[in-house]
Structure 1
Amino acid sequence: MLKVDFKLLRNEALRDIILALEEALEKIGIDYYLIGALARDAWFQQEKIVSRTTADVDFAILVPQKEKFEELKTFLAREKGYVETKGNSFAMISPGGITVDILPFGSIEIDEELNKANGEAQVVTNGFKEVFSAALEQFESEDGQLRIKIASLPGIVLLKLIAHQDRPEIRIKDPGDILEILHYYFDLHSGLIYEHHDSVFDDEQPLEMISARVIGREIGKIVSENPTLRQRVNTYLTTEIEKQENGSLIRLMQRST
């Protein structure tokens, strides 16, 4: 099982946050996994890769009913000292002052209001369900006392692509994070690449290009059961490639270097 050392993640408070979330989620009966920058850093830690410091803590939670989400927030506030934030119903502040994003999927989706047309709900395409079903790995703390499910690197890239497309003016760090994953992916997953993606070595290419092709293939597997989501990702990437530096995705990747 993969190991995670919270001291090396430069955020020992994360352990207390996870323990609080685990207690609340187990009590209420809902599942979760870690996404975002800390999920990326847990993977980078496997090869002692140091990334930029982040204070972001992001959880995706599987909510069977909308009432369960409100019950979770009430429990965290009453029992664990968390405080709700103004203007963002999906974020709470931990007793240590860390903002924790709690992003629901299942019967309630963070972007459900964006997926309605003519009064009818459309297929949700934020990727949370797909990553939950096909792109999680189990991590364990160094002392063996804590286990947590973390999105795979292709899963993280998928979620960041979608988040940046939805809110490019706010999610300005996502393109740089994606580029960083492309840079280190080969070092982290060379065994998988050699065993399952040997065809990417047909031409002499930089390791980042090989990584990009493999991540693209892995994302294809993740979204294979949701044609609408697959089409969304394909269309978005095609459009950004056509725009080149005039599009926010490539422009912000360039800026991050």
Structure 2
Amino acid sequence: MKRVTHATWRRRIESVKNTSVNIAGKLPQGLVELYADIRGHTQALVIDFLVVGATARDSVFVHGFGCPVERGTTDVDFGIHVASWDEFSALKDRLLAAGYKADAHKIHRFSHGVPKGPRWEIDIVPFGKIAGNDNKIGWPPEQDIVMNVLGFSEAFEHALDVHISADPDIVIPVASPAGMCLLKLVSWLDREIGLRARDAADFEYLIRSYTKIPEIRDALFEEGQMEAQDWDQTKASAMKLGQDAREISSAATQVFLKESLFDQPSKKEEFARDMQRQNRRDLTQCAELLEIFSAAFLKGST
């Protein structure tokens, strides 16, 4: 495989970040209005936000680059970069005053309908200085429910600017494929067993869809991933995504994924089974893709 310098890796990561994603006129009815409304409320409070989850995946891959729809959803997930629960509460109060409905059981969940659109289920996850040194948040009021927010800062810092409307002109930050990948891996490790299979399925989807981005497809030949993987594009995609995820990840995220997943054979087997079970893929192939990704992630660009 061709040796690629660290500076070259950084330039190529930036080229992906600067990839033009224009999906104006392509989003499901009502979603542009929802994004615009959330953007207005966060801007009023000087809070930065990030689109994550299934709608981030679909915005980039389905609407941006023509990949097949994996599964429809009315769930919209946001991360908000805040320093305290007071900031989260201020946003929550604004949303409730604007007609959003709070979930009876989950403090971060809301629902909201817009004209001529479905009712959206909205999750808002705070990250940033609000998290402790262990990169976890404890949900109020008792803070007995804890969530790992590793990966959110990296996804935010390396987000794609996605153009969702021409009139009015609206651009929103959406997690990049490498950022989505980090979030899916951390989420799979953090969730209850019965809830995490979709994270593994989305991880597999990211690998298979990554080469729909022209800059990525070209890079597989220029950087040598295709040659290294015997000209198998899916395997080369797993290798490239592993390298790109490593390149944007913090030291804390790298250590967490290494110790909690990639150095744990039984965990990797569980993850591969979730990849296979959800997407009806061959288990051996899923395990191989995960192994290629993890080897590339652990090795990085060295």
Normalised by the shorter chain, which TM-score bucket?
0.7 to 0.9
Aligned CA RMSD, in angstroms, stands at 2.2
The one-character-per-residue Cα deviations of 1:19-71 (angstroms, maximum 9, x if unpaired) are 11111111111111111111111111233112121222011111133211101
Match of 2:218 in 1: 191
2:185 aligned partner, one-letter code: L
Cα contact 2:67–2:212 (8 A) shared by 1: no
Partner of 1:99: 121
Does the CA-based 8 Å contact 1:200-1:213 persist in structure 2?
A: no
Relative to structure 1, the CA distance from residue 183 to residue 127 in structure 2 (aligned partners, 3 Å threshold; closer, same or farther) is same
The answer to whether the aligner puts 1:232 opposite 2:253 as a matched pair is no
For residue 138 of structure 1, what is the amino acid of its counterpart?
Answer: D
Partner residue in 1 for 2:40: 23
Q: Is 1:37 equivalent to 2:57 in the alignment?
A: no
Q: 2:101 aligned to 80, 83, 88, which one? A: 83
Contact kept? 1:220, 1:230, Cα under 8 Å? yes
* Equivalent position amino acid for 2:272 in 1: I
Tell whether 2:74 aligns with 1:50: no
Aligned residues: 239
The equivalent of 1:143 in structure 2 is: 166
Distance 2:64 2:253 in 1: 30
Give the Cα–Cα distance (whole angstroms) in 2 for the partners of residues 238 and 220 of structure 1. Answer: 13
Alignment pair present for 1:157 and 2:181? yes
Give the letter aligned to residue 22 of structure 1: R
Q: 3-state SS of the aligned residue for 1:59? A: strand
Separation in 2, partners of 1:208, 1:237: 22
Q: Deviations over 1:127-157 (max 9, x none)?
A: 1112212x21111125252110111111101
Distance in 2 (CA, whole Å) between partners of 1:187 and 1:169 is 31
* Runs of 4+ deviating beyond 6 Å: none
Q: Partners of 2:108 and 2:236 in 1: how far apart?
A: 36
| Alpha-carbon distance in structure 2 between the residues aligned to 1:84 and 1:59 | 15
Q: List alignment gaps of at least 5 residues for structure 2.
A: 1-19, 140-147, 281-302
Corresponding residue number in structure 1 for 2:237: 211
C-alpha deviation, 1:86, in angstroms: 1.7
Per the TM alignment, residue 206 of structure 1 is displaced from its structure 2 partner at its CA by 2.2
In 1, are the aligned partners of 2:228 and 2:236 still within 8 Å (CA)?
no
Query: TM-score scaled by structure 1?
Result: 0.85
| Distance in 2 (alpha carbons) for counterparts of 1:142 and 1:93 | 23
